[in-house]
Structure formats: structure tokens, C-alpha cells
Copies of this chain bind each other. A is one copy, B any other.
Amino acid sequence: MQINGLLGELIQALCCLPGVGPKSAQRMAFHLLQRDRQGAGNLARCLLEAVDKLQQCSVCRTLTEEKICAICASPSRDQSLLCIVENPADVWIVDQATFFAGVYFVLHGRLSPLDDIGPEELGLELLEQRFASGDVKEAVLATNSTVEGEATAHFIAELAHRHRVKASRIAHGVPMGGELEFIDSGTLAHAFNGRTDL
């Protein structure tokens, strides 16, 4: 006997969450209905409001409920320092972990011709306008360290150079606390190439 009706629909709807399969969805559904109906109602309200109101910032393309996001609108941010990341999540990750005081630009992906993701999908036109305006002095490329991420970084670096904007790439190397024994050779080679004076 299958779980039908509203309960079945709820379990199927919960499967849209990343990392949640039918078994966890079933557990979540029963937990919410038996022990946290208030939380479930609150979650529904937040989902509806977020889907309705969160849109891309017209300047940096991160997710925001305003027309221009809090970071782009902040007068204390250095508008000449531009960090380019793949996802809105990366904005928060970089901002929480570093002392970076510039602004961001979100690509919402990376160049991937096989998946039909080209410069247009990444909003590179908007980015180029910003380079052309002369307001940006340095573009910090913080795309992921995957093959596509690297290719995207190089593509954008060329774009920046064309407009005489300095482009830099975040360092690759041994993670803090990492032991050489457990580091892959590619990372170790990068760490040697990128060594700094002490």
C-alpha cells in the first residue's frame, strides 16, 4: 500500500530538496505533522515569500528582495574592488570568511558549452559594462577550482585586460591544517608554484 492523498503529495514535494530521497522525505513529513506543525506553517510562509520576492540584484546579480542588494548599496564598500563568484551562496561564504571589503558579481554558473551555458547566461555583458565604466580597478576571480571554473576565470580575466582592469585569481595551495601526505599532487604543484617569501 502506497502513501496516498495529501501526505503522499507532501512527501513527493519534499523530494525536491537537494539530498532528500523518499525515505528522508517520509521522515520529514511525519516529523512536521506530528511534532512541529507551527514550523511547517512557518516554512511554507517563508518559501512563498522568498519565491515571490527574492530576485537578482540589478547591479551584482545576487539574490535580494530590494532592487539593489545591501552590499552594492553600502557606502562603506570599495566599489573599485570586484570579486567575481559563481553562486549567490559564494558571496556569503567569501564575506563570512575573509576581510574582503569590495563588492561582488554573481555569474550564476560557469562557462560550459556542452550545457549551453555561454557568456550571455552568465551576464558577462553586464560585467563588461562595469569594466568599461572605469570604476573597477581590480577583479578578484573567485570561481571554483574546477576545470570549468578555471576556464571561466581565464575568460573573464581576458575581458578585464581588454578594459585595462587588473585581474587576480584567489590562491591555490595546501589547505590550512592540511598534511602534505594527504594532499593531491595537482594542489601541491600549485602550492610550490605559488610560494611566497617569508
Contacts and interface: CB of A to CB of B under 8 A. Distances in A.
A39 B16 contact: yes
A79 interface: no
* 3 residue pairs, one from A and one from B, having the closest CB atoms: A16-B39, A44-B47, A13-B46
Given A10-B47, A39-B16, A89 B33 contact: no
A146 to B, nearest CB: 17
A63 B26 CA distance: 13
Interface in A22-68: 24, 26-34, 36-37, 39-51, 53-54, 63-65
A171 interface: no
A194 interface: no
A6 interface: yes
- Most B CB within 10 A of own CB, among A9, A17, A31, A70: A17
Nearest to A26: B89
Interface residues of A, number: 53
Given A6-B46, A30-B88, A33-B54, 19 more contacts: A1-B95, A1-B96, A4-B70, A6-B53, A7-B50, A10-B46, A10-B47, A16-B39, A16-B42, A17-B32, A17-B43, A19-B27, A19-B28, A30-B63, A30-B87, A30-B89, A33-B51, A44-B44, A44-B48
**Copies of this chain, how many?**
2
A179 to B, nearest CB: 24
Contacts of A46: 6, 9-10, 12-13
A5 B40 contact: no
13 contacts: A1-B95, A7-B50, A9-B46, A16-B39, A16-B40, A16-B42, A17-B28, A27-B89, A32-B51, A33-B50, A33-B51, A33-B88, A34-B63
A33 B1 contact: no
B51 A40 contact: yes
